[in-house]
Amino acid sequence: MAVLRRDIRGFSLTRAQTAGDDAADPAATDAAVGPPAAEAGADAAATGAAEAADAADAPPPPGPPAEAAGPRVLGAAFFDLDNTVMRGASIFHMARGLYARRFFDKRDIMRFGWQQARFRLGGENMGHVGDAQETALSFVKGHSIDEVTALGEEIFDEYMADKIWPGTRALAQMHLDAGRQVWLVTAAPIEIATTIAGRLGLTGALGTVSETRDGFYTGRLVGELLHGDAKAEAVRGLAAREHLDLADCSAYSDSSNDIPMLSLVGDACAVNPDAKLRRHAREHGWRVKDYRTGRKAARIGIPAAAGLGAVAGALAAGTAVRRRTALS
């Protein structure tokens, strides 16, 4: 729409300049007439100048409505990743793949497993997310961007693809089919977020940025985790860059930490929500989608078992990969 407005302003200015040029031509013609018509030509020129001055003071005619001048810019949909699009924490699934590739040892994957169980049991917690990110950064320190990106593609196929919630995937596709942009907005590393967004056919991703130097990870963050209020600010910035009307946008999340982001848009939806977000959604008339089976079990029994089971799976997967490597 900004381009259209610039075009409209340019057209109006050009039209005014052309009119000014046309108004000057009769005076020039009259001035070129022989002596008998000179006085009449001067009067006409004076009258024309007065009319031109009046026209300059008058407000310009209204331009065409923006929607009539071109297609309306559609809104967008913003999706949290962990427990919204994907079951569990994407950073833990990434860690399982890295463990299988000998990036770290059993003690580290056990620690990640407890963080996963705690995350799925109690929902997103800033301290838990920060701990997981700090651990992950230490694992990739010294490795190249190309290496970690390529591993991310492999690990998605091995550990993440079957963790995508079909219901949330269908919601994202609905927006895509309607011609709207669909973005992942997550505290997960941008490399993971970008891989998942690409595999799901989404528009793009916003995620936490790790510092690199000469193409290698330093083990430090650039700025802060994309979490809570930081997510909301990132969405505001994206909307400004993409010329999106947030009132015409949708947002989806499982966590009460994302209430700032959900509150920005005209259509907020709590997906697999924690207790606090569920209450907030009811109080504010937001939609609620729950794709978990046996809600009580999902909140109490399954998370811990799933976390510990994932640890066992990671250990088994790592052993299998290493055995194959030794045999090859």
Question: Which amino acid, one-letter code, is at 262?
Answer: L
C-alpha 158/C-alpha 251 separation (Å) is 28
Of 82, 254, 258, 274, catalytic: 82
C-alpha 275/C-alpha 30 separation (Å) is 84
Whether 54 is catalytic:
no
Of 80, 254, 258, 274, catalytic: 80
CB within 8 Å of 80: residues ≥ 6 apart = 184, 185, 186, 231, 252, 253, 254, 255, 258, 261, 271
C-alpha 202/C-alpha 171 separation (Å) is 12
CB within 8 Å of 67: residues ≥ 6 apart = none
Whether 105 is catalytic:
no
With beta carbons less than 8 A apart as the criterion, state whether 127 and 204 touch.
Answer: no
Question: Which amino acid, one-letter code, is at 183?
Answer: W
Q: Catalytic positions, please?
A: 80, 82
